[in-house]
């Protein structure tokens, strides 16, 4: 009975695989109530889950719905998960880039909530782009083009959707075993051969300090390996935004620039590093060199164009979209070594501008955001243009300018792009 499972975890006892499968299947079919689920989450948060319990919960949540089956001829299949950041548009570049070097990428992504952006919102800023494909359409496109990017379907990990919604309501969001089970249940339902994780660390990240980021990265890699997958993780800095833009259309345009080999170095290099880890696990030699070659020769861009067209999108229509009605310049008020804006300040500002959500059902304005003109870590002269705020009206623009400008960091050591690698 569910009450026996709750009592055991309340009293710090270890739960068996069968216990956790009964719990997850009950969540999915509704026989386990929300108040039972909330009690489980709190007991797990307080008393923890060991690695075996975390693995069992992950697999139980995965098996609460459909697990995608792939033909062996399609291997290697790989996916990437980011723990969320500001200006993190890497999935849009990584998926076609990996496909261009022979790795198939079945990617199921999410929407932005809070101060961090979402891949689906970015993709949907491309006119006509469809993220709500069926699993059969998803599988067929991965087989044909090597890449498809969609949202989570009702069939995949239904227990996670319930528990994910309850974690915020029960103040259990920050439990690393629960975070890991939520992330991996969806990724394992996708059933790739390889998983690579980008675990953000810093002011704009979910994990603010390195110890927590390292624990999450190690847990994700360990549970992935225990489930039979090849996996590695990069811990990367999120003290300032990734790349030069934050906001949906601005980030898609930056992604196009990178795919045309003209984008900012940090977004480009981090994407290449992640794809290179996929290539290593796939047994592909010189993955990094292949990535650089396919950015330079246009092959990665060709894959992206084919994916967009297959999913109903129109890149030419995207690049003809209007800008936000109000654009305000932000200039330096001193000379010095500019380290950029604080990532959290930018993320919060973009959200207030209308570029993010406060509730799941909120709509997002794709045109607002922060567009940076200068790379973080650059020498700057007083009065030099540093960036622009894109807004719907003057009042919201002025508020964002004040907030972002007040967060500028000067004359400090530069953050390393990659802090640590976890195998």
182 as an active site residue: the answer is yes
- Exactly one of 58, 125, 172, 182 is catalytic; which is it? 182
119 as an active site residue: the answer is yes
CB 82 within 8 A of CB 117: no
Residue 352 carries which DSSP code? I
299 as an active site residue: the answer is no
How many other CB atoms are there within 10 angstroms of residue 386's CB atom? 20
Phi first, then psi, for residue 193 (nearest 5°) are: -85, -30
Q: Which residues are CB-contacts of 188 (< 8 A; sequence separation ≥ 6)? A: 58, 59, 62, 67, 227, 229
80 as an active site residue: the answer is yes
Element of type H or E holding 389: strand 385-391
- Exactly one of 9, 22, 62, 80 is catalytic; which is it? 80
- Exactly one of 82, 109, 116, 153 is catalytic; which is it? 82
The two structure tokens encoding residue 409? 């960091």
Helix (H, G, I), strand (E, B) or coil at 236: strand
79 as an active site residue: the answer is yes
CB 278 within 8 A of CB 100: no
- Exactly one of 19, 63, 79, 198 is catalytic; which is it? 79
Q: Which residues are CB-contacts of 7 (< 8 A; sequence separation ≥ 6)? A: none
- Exactly one of 22, 89, 187, 214 is catalytic; which is it? 187
- Exactly one of 9, 22, 161, 167 is catalytic; which is it? 167
Tokens 């379907």 map to which residue?
153
As beta bridge partners, residue 241 has none
Q: Which residues are CB-contacts of 92 (< 8 A; sequence separation ≥ 6)? A: 119, 122, 123, 149, 251, 252, 255, 304
3 as an active site residue: the answer is no
225 as an active site residue: the answer is no
Helix (H, G, I), strand (E, B) or coil at 423: coil
- Exactly one of 9, 22, 81, 388 is catalytic; which is it? 81
CA–CA separation, 108 and 193 (whole Å): 15
Among 391, 407, 406, smallest CA distance to 343 is for 407
Dihedral sign, Cα of residue 350, residue 353, residue 357, residue 363: negative
- Exactly one of 83, 119, 219, 255 is catalytic; which is it? 119
Helix (H, G, I), strand (E, B) or coil at 193: coil
Among 375, 370, 366, smallest CA distance to 397 is for 370
CA–CA separation, 148 and 153 (whole Å): 14
CA–CA separation, 256 and 160 (whole Å): 33
Active site residues: 79-82, 119, 167, 182, 186-187
């Amino acid at each position: 009975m569910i009450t026996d499972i709750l009592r055991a975890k309340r009293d710090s006892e270890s739960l068996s695989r069968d216990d956790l499968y009964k719990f997850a299947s009950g969540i999915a079919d509704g026989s386990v109530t929300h108040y039972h689920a909330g009690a489980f989450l709190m007991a797990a948060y307080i008393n923890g889950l060991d690695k075996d319990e975390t693995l069992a919960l992950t697999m139980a949540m995965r098996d609460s719905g459909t697990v995608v089956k792939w033909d062996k001829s399609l291997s290697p299949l790989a996916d990437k998960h980011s723990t969320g950041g500001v200006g993190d548009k890497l999935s849009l570049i990584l998926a076609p880039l990996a496909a261009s070097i022979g790795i198939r990428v079945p990617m199921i992504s999410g929407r932005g909530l809070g101060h961090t952006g979402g891949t689906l919102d970015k993709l949907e800023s491309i006119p006509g782009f469809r993220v709500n494909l069926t699993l059969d359409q998803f599988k067929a496109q991965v087989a044909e083009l090597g890449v498809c990017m969609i949202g989570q379907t009702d069939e995949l990990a239904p227990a996670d959707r319930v528990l994910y919604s309850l974690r915020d309501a029960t103040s259990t969001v920050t439990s690393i075993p629960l975070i890991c089970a939520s992330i991996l249940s969806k990724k394992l339902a996708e059933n790739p051969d390889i998983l690579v994780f980008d675990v953000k660390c810093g002011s704009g990240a979910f994990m603010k300090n390195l110890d927590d980021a390292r624990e999450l990265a190690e847990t994700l890699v360990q549970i992935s390996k225990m489930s039979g997958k090849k996996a590695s993780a990069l811990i990367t800095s999120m003290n300032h935004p990734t790349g030069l833009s934050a906001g949906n259309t601005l980030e898609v345009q930056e992604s196009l620039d990178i795919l045309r080999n003209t984008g900012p170095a940090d977004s480009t290099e981090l994407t290449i590093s992640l794809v290179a880890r996929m290539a290593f696990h796939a047994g592909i030699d010189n993955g990094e060199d292949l990535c650089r070659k396919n950015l330079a020769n246009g092959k990665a861009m060709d894959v992206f164009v084919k994916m967009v067209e297959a999913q109903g999108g129109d890149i030419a229509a995207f690049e003809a979209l209007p800008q936000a009605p109000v654009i305000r310049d932000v200039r330096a008020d001193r000379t010095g070594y500019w380290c950029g804006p604080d990532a959290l300040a930018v993320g919060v500002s973009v959200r207030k501008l209308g570029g993010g959500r406060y509730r799941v059902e909120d709509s997002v304005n794709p045109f607002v955001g922060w567009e940076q003109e200068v790379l973080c870590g650059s020498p700057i002269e007083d009065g030099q243009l540093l960036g622009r705020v894109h807004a719907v009206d003057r009042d919201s623009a002025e508020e964002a300018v004040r907030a972002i400008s007040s967060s500028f960091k000067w004359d400090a050591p530069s953050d390393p792009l990659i802090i640590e690698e976890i195998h």
